[in-house]
Chains A and B, each alone.
Chain A
Amino acid sequence: MVNTQTTPHGRLKQSPFLPDMAEIVRKERLNPTETLYVLRLTDGAELGHAPGQFVEVSVFGVGEAPFSISSSPTRGGEFELCIRRVGDVTTAMERLGIGAKLGVRGPLGRGFPLDVMRGNDVLIIAGGLGIVPLRSLIGTVIDERADFAEVTILYGCKSPAEMLFKDEIAAWEAREDIDFRVTTDIADPSWKGNVGPVTTLFRRLTVNPKTTVPVMVGPPVMFKHVVKQVLAVGIPEDRIILSLERRMKCGIGECGHCQINGVYVCQDGPVFTYAELKRLEEAML
């Protein structure tokens, strides 16, 4: 989506930094630091994203920051962002009410390779906030369930309190056509489930290396261990899918912040195969 403006001389002027306008339709506090924002473009257009893509969100006067899109494109006109309060933009967003206007540039970047996943077993591995972009993929997989073979979701959190989307998780758990497993690093008295890192869930799975596409999003330390596990069961490097987080300012491959060696995460990613990343030492895998 390029915004254009015509000068008095009729010449086309383009700024890749001019956002579309969106408004907050709904807001839901998920836990002390995370809030779910439901947004709609004010011109009524659909965002038109693919799972795994991101947007640059503007709070004018405060700044702009990149966020992965958490809702599935199969769910229609509105789109959702789940945002942890960590900086100026995210703190300012928390103070905004329903109907407040935000700038949105995007969708940006390369999403998850659905064409590779269709017809195959999908193994989704989420660590912490990694569930946010993966929720977009999970929504698409559920809505187009017949396109995929076995679907397994592994979700690991630091503590039960940090678990996001608890109602939806209950619905995923209840489905017969999805194998959903969750774990937490530290239990609390209410926790009855598995305790330990997400790798402990993986160990108990039977994975068919010929038909499984693992898709993982999480902190760097999770990638290190999970990649080792999926390689060990014989899944080829070019079928291991990861999405990376990096600092981004422009989202269009100009500003240089998100660069990993020669690769721009904002343009070439944020979704990559392990084969693409393994020789990039700055990928931290």
Chain B
Amino acid sequence: MIDRVVAKTDLIRSIDRLAHEQSVFAPVANGPQFSFKVISSAEEVAEGYLPTALPPSKHLLPPREALLRFAWHDELAVEPVIEATETVAFGLRPCDLHALELLDAIFVDDKDDGHYRARREAAFFVGIECLEPCDDHCFCESMGSLRADSGFDVLLTDLGDTYYVRVESTKGRDFVLAVDGAHEAVYEDRTRLRKAHEGRDAAFTPRLDVAMEHLPALLAESSDSLLWDVLGEKCLSCGACTNVCPTCYCFDVRDELNLDMKSGERVRTWDSCQLEEFAMVGTGESFRKPREMRVKHRFNRKGRYIFERYGRMGCVGCGRCARACLVDIDPVEVFNQLKGRPVER
């Protein structure tokens, strides 16, 4: 589709109009951090933000989500809960777009999970390119998720006073045509875009000592590494890393009764492979009891298991787990240490 260019002030006015009409999610400042929230005006949108504390993918897989509704009246009645609100998600970073594409591959393409799919189909994604690294924890360049080529309706690139707008869907075209003064990108615009990309490519340097495509093999051959014991001693098993991870989607399923005791919901709630009960069976055996096994499991999921199953990396290099970790476990260090860098105990 035809790329466009819009003035920043015009786009902001357009977002402002949209926010009055429908649900618009955007990153807003939240103390020292940032969160995706429904905004009521474009003024709230944070520019140049660090990755939000919780990734936008968690809005498609919320902490608590009703799957079924059941009630006993004359007879037991059970119905699925598939609900979604048309939503514009504004300002998604490439790392988050990559994470969302992985979740699509799992929940839509593989599982055909109607609960997720309904929300995904009702979502409109406005991506925004990163032109400089957000902090020392991000390593998107090494995980192949600095550049977004799909998974968005439109993708913005900051060119100073204007945004270059890449359009990938008909909904995206309608969105950009509704912005006052939107014009087709011409040669000069494309030159400025290329310059912006060149600046970006120079600003992001590789963080990993191992190429992404070799991570699965590295993890497979590191099964007996003593590093897991070191990490197992450090890790508090708090589950913060899985809570903030844009590609973590493991869940628990349980029933909640309403106060009338005659109706209720079956819900899925976030769960974490870092918690000891996660792999415990009814008769009490826990199949991943030692903490080092749980840490190893998480890193293998991120760098190996998900890739082996879905052909996409389970880690997008956003750095959220490292920012959230209370004992400074950072995947960049973990992968580099597996590759041979010295370990400080």
Interface of A toward B, CB cutoff 8 Å: 2-3, 5, 13-19, 21, 58, 60-65, 84, 86-87, 90, 101, 103, 219-220, 245-247, 249-250, 252-262, 281-282, 284
Contacts and interface: CB of A to CB of B under 8 A. Distances in A.
Contacts of A63: 253-255, 266
B119 interface: no
Contacts of A247: 278-282, 287
The winner among B271, B278, B281 for most chain A CB atoms within 10 A is B281
Interface in B257-300: 257, 264, 266, 268, 271, 273, 278-283, 285, 287-288, 293, 297, 300
B111 A13 contact: no
A15 B308 contact: no
B113 interface: yes
Contacts, number: 134
Nearest to B80: A15
A256 B282 contact: no
A2 B268 CA distance: 19
B106 interface: yes
A255 B293 CA distance: 18
Interface stretch (B89-97, B158-166, B244-252, B315-323): B244-252
Nearest to A59: B255
Given A17-B80, A246-B287, A247-B280, A262 B252 contact: no
27 contacts: A3-B80, A14-B114, A15-B67, A15-B82, A16-B112, A16-B114, A17-B115, A17-B253, A60-B264, A63-B253, A90-B282, A101-B76, A220-B285, A245-B283, A247-B281, A247-B282, A249-B251, A252-B111, A253-B110, A253-B111, A254-B111, A254-B251, A255-B252, A256-B278, A262-B305, A262-B308, A281-B223
Nearest to A128: B283
Given A5-B79, A64-B266, A255 B255 contact: no
Interface in B163-211: none
A260 B287 contact: yes
A255 B80 contact: no
B302 interface: no
B54 interface: no
B115 A61 contact: no
B281 A254 contact: no
Nearest to B281: A247
Contacts of B80: 3, 5, 13-15, 17-18
Contacts of A21: 76, 78
A61 B255 contact: yes
A255 B78 contact: no
B271 A256 contact: yes
Interface of B: 67-68, 70, 76, 78-82, 106-107, 110-115, 117-118, 223, 249-255, 257, 264, 266, 268, 271, 273, 278-283, 285, 287-288, 293, 297, 300-301, 304-305, 308-309
Contacts of B78: 18-19, 21, 60, 103
Nearest to A283: B287
Contacts of A281: 223
A255 B271 contact: yes
Nearest to A87: B282
Contacts of B257: 61
Contact of B70 (A13, A61, A252, A257): A61
A5 B83 CA distance: 13
B255 A60 contact: yes
Nearest to B107: A254
Given A246-B279, A247-B278, A247-B281, A60 B76 contact: yes
Given A17-B80, A19-B78, A249-B251, 14 more contacts: A3-B80, A15-B67, A16-B111, A17-B253, A21-B76, A60-B70, A60-B266, A61-B257, A64-B266, A86-B283, A250-B253, A255-B253, A257-B279, A284-B287
B282 A16 contact: no
Contacts of A259: 273, 279, 297, 301, 305
Contacts of A258: 279
A250 B251 CA distance: 9
The winner among B110, B251, B282, B305 for most chain A CB atoms within 10 A is B282
Contacts of A255: 250-253, 268, 271
A62 B308 CA distance: 36
A282 B288 contact: yes
The winner among A247, A249, A282 for most chain B CB atoms within 10 A is A247
Contacts of A2: 112
A2 to B, nearest CB: 8
Closest 3 CB pairs of A and B: A256-B250, A15-B80, A262-B305
Contact of A15 (B107, B114, B281): B114
A18 B112 CA distance: 13
B295 to A, nearest CB: 13
Nearest to B81: A15
Contacts of A282: 287-288, 293, 297
A21 to B, nearest CB: 8
Contacts of A262: 300, 304-305, 308-309
B223 to A, nearest CB: 7
A73 B283 CA distance: 27
Given A101-B76, A246-B279, A256 B273 contact: yes
B258 to A, nearest CB: 9
A203 B81 CA distance: 55
Contacts of B287: 246-247, 260, 282, 284
B239 to A, nearest CB: 13
A62 B255 contact: yes
Contact of B106 (A19, A58, A101, A254): A254
